Structure 1
Amino acid sequence: MKSPVYLNALRAFEAAARLQSFAAAAAELHVTPAAIGQLVRGLEDWLGVPLFHRTPKGKLRLVPTEAAERALPEIRAGFDRLTVGLSRLRQGGRSGVLTVTVSPAFAAKWLLPRLERFREECAETDVRLDTNHRLVDFDEQGIDIGVRYGRGSWPGLVAEKLMDELVYPVCSPRWLEAHGHTATPASLASATLIHDLSVDTHAGFPSWAAWFEQAGVKGADVSRGLQINNSAAVLQAAIDGQGVALARSVMASDDVASGRLIRLCPTVEFASPLAYYVVYRADSASLPKLVAFREWLHREATR
């Protein structure tokens, strides 16, 4: 059986087993039921094993044999991989497009303000940003590379550490002017606290309770305040003077440098156990556009 016929026969067999009907399989594959039957019988002859149970009179029943049932998951997985492979071949024809996945907050506060420098270096590469709170499937979504925040382990992906970060309180100049110029850890216990809930599911992410403990402040009430599930919005609330935010240094760096935010209690440093990682599939590591972007990310992280 030649390869094209072999693949067609496997498709006919998989569809017939899944739909339990030659007619339904024929409709899905845009052929006749007789053609499906012929392909299945040819596959059986080539393999030397039956794929469906038959009645004593030889009538075909669309109930897969035990051997067929064992093989079907692998066959379906193979077709899924072929689909991914064809998708990558199509993408190869558009080699100038690099699809990058990052969180909305990381895009707004770190990546987008710097992205023009990458475009100047690699004008032939167009960047398509996929901003999402959830972890996307690189194969299904056609993602080339991403930046993720965590402990550095994501199944199926290579992870290279990009940046560590500190966690510290920040406020706006207006808030500091209104609430005194000598903000201390103890005085912050009575301030309106802005809580970042965007990574609260990660064990070990520093919270206000952990920061006050690090600062030696006992009994601080951290149950109240403004709670926001987006790190960029947390910083914006602080910029607007709504309270004191516990900021992630990578997200807040530009706002602190520009004076939009002021870092409080600089002697109390709290290193986050989480970090930023560049992530990508191992089989895509040598793509020139991916290599260029990965190297650029590392250069930007050390600026």
Structure 2
Amino acid sequence: MEVPAHLNALRAFEASARHQSFSAAAIELHVTPAAVGQLVRTLEEWLGAPLFHRSASGRVRLMPTEAAERALPDIRAGFDRLALGFERLKEGSVNGVLTVTVSPAFAAKWLLPRIERFQTAWPDTDVRLDTNLKPVDFVAQGVDIGVRYGLGSWPGLISQKLMDEEVYPVCTPELLREHQGMRNPADLRRVTLIHDLSMDGHTGFPTWDKWLGKAGVTDASTGRGLKINNSAAVLQAAIEGHGVALARSVMAHDDLAAGRLVRLFRDVAFTSPLAYYVVFRGECSGLPKLTAFRDWLLEEAATSSHQPIAQTSADGS
């Protein structure tokens, strides 16, 4: 079959017919108008028939012939199929762009501080982060893989648990020293509480009411304090000394390790019913760049969970 040898000529013909101009087609194809004209003439010679109407002088008027007009829809559909096939070929490689959806807070507090290690291991994969506050449509928005926080079930997606999460109060070492009497959970009644509203209303999302209830404090006024709908901003408010935050362990891990925050009341264990999950479409599960990123996420999560964190007790010792 000789058609593949004339793909460039077919593209030149289709672009010329669409723009009704060799010059405009040349700009699109990044060649000269003369090159476009020569490709069209080569195709005409191979077909043995003209593709554009010509005047008596032989000058080309870029109006396709009737036969050319009939062929154009199929030619354009063919190019669309070729482009789709090329994308499929690219999906089978670690090269190219990997689109990852995560929340802004997860990106800021966990993923971005670690992403350089993935880029070093897989330099041919370009990561594009989609930090949308709401779940996105993987198909419509071209998303390859994501990390979601919840109970582990999202329609149309395979989910694989990445990390469980504890919830506990945190504050700065300076604030802890200022409140030397803060030796048990009941003492939280005397400090400003910072509330995380990022998943407000989600079934099972930990709140100050739930944590204090687990700690045996039933008479604290939890309606007061600073309320923020972003988990990263909650921690930043605590780092700036605005009060005691109810922190999520995955988000707070690096701040605790760096000593910017300290965990209070370690004897109160509160595991969140929600967790982090890697999510992706089943039909994409075998793509090399997706599996590379998924495996890297799982390795990073395992490493983070085993890293020791220097802790300060509630009495400042």
Work out whether the TM-score is over 0.5. yes
Quick check: 1:84–1:139 contact (8 Å CA) kept in 2?
no
Distance 1:168 1:85 in 2: 54
Cα distance in 1 for residues equivalent to 2:240 and 2:82: 48
SS at match of 1:251: helix
Partners of 2:100 and 2:146 within 8 A in 1: yes
Q: Please report the RMSD computed on the Cα atoms of aligned residues, expressed in angstroms.
A: 2.4
The 3 A distance-change label for structure 1 pair 84 and 156 is farther
What amino acid maps onto 1:261 in structure 2? L
SS of the counterpart of 1:149? strand
Q: Secondary structure at the match of 2:160?
A: strand
Indicate whether 1:90 and 2:87 are aligned.
yes
- In structure 2, how many angstroms separate the alpha carbons of the residues matched to 1:84 and 1:104? 36
Aligned-partner Cα distance in 1 for 2:102–2:169: 24
Which whole-Å deviations, capped at 9, do the CAs of 1:212-241 have from their partners, x for residues lacking one? 110011211000100000000000000000
1:255 maps to 2:255: yes
2: distance between equivalents of 1:85 and 1:133?
35
SS at match of 1:293: helix
Counterpart-to-counterpart distance in 1, 2:138 and 2:227: 31
Per-residue CA deviation, residues 243-296 of structure 1 (Å, 9 max, x unaligned), is 000000000000001100000001001100000000000000000000000000
Distance 1:103 1:159 in 2: 16
Tell me if 1:176 matches 2:176: yes
Distance 1:99 1:169 in 2: 34
Deviates more, 1:258-267 or 1:93-102: 93-102
Alignment match, 1:226: 226
Structure 1 position 302 matched with structure 2 position 299: no
The residue aligned with 2:110 is: 110
SS of equivalent to 2:114: helix
Q: Name the CA distance, whole Å, in 2 between partners of 1:269 and 1:276.
A: 19
Matches within 5 A, 1:269-288: 269-288=269-288
Tell me if the contact between 2:145 and 2:278 (Cα under 8 Å) persists in the aligned partners: yes
- TM-superposed CA distance for 1:93, in Å, is 4.0
How many residues align? The count is 225
Aligned to 1:198: 198
Q: 1:167 Cα deviation (Å)?
A: 0.2
CA–CA separation in structure 2 for the residues paired with 1:247 and 1:210: 13
Which residue is 2:126 aligned to?
Answer: 126
Deviation at 1:196, TM superposition (A): 0.2
Name the CA distance, whole Å, in 1 between partners of 2:170 and 2:108.
18
- Kindly state the Cα deviation for residue 92 of structure 1 after the two structures are TM-superposed: 4.7
Structure-1-length-normalised TM-score: 0.70
SS in 2 for 1:129: strand
Q: Structure 1 CA distance, aligned partners of 2:85 and 2:116?
A: 27
Is it true that 1:162 corresponds to 2:159 in the alignment? no
| 1:235 match | 235
Alignment check: 8 A CA contact 2:181 2:187 kept? no
Residue identity opposite 1:114 in structure 2: R
Contact 1:166 1:249 in 2 (8 A): yes
Distance in 2 between residues matched to 1:251 and 1:182, nearest whole Å = 24
Tell me the distance in 2 between the aligned counterparts of 1:185 and 1:267: 10
Alpha-carbon shift at residue 205 of structure 1 (Å): 1.1
Q: Which residue number corresponds to residue 289 of structure 2?
A: 289
For 1:85 and 1:178, locate their aligned partners in 2 and report how far apart those are by CA, in whole Å: 68
Once the 2 structures are TM-superposed, how far is the Cα of residue 161 of structure 1 from its aligned partner?
0.4
C-alpha change, 1:169 and 1:87, in structure 2 (3 Å) is farther
Q: 1:246 to 1:85 in 2, by over 3 A?
A: farther
Q: Residue 167 of structure 1 contacts residue 272 of structure 1 at CA under 8 Å; is this kept in 2? A: yes
Q: Does the 8 A contact of 2:193 with 2:226 survive in 1?
A: yes
Q: 1:175 aligns to what SS in structure 2?
A: helix
Structure 1 unaligned blocks of 5 or more: 1-37, 39-82
TM-score w.r.t. length of structure 2 = 0.67
Give the structure with higher Rg (CA): 2
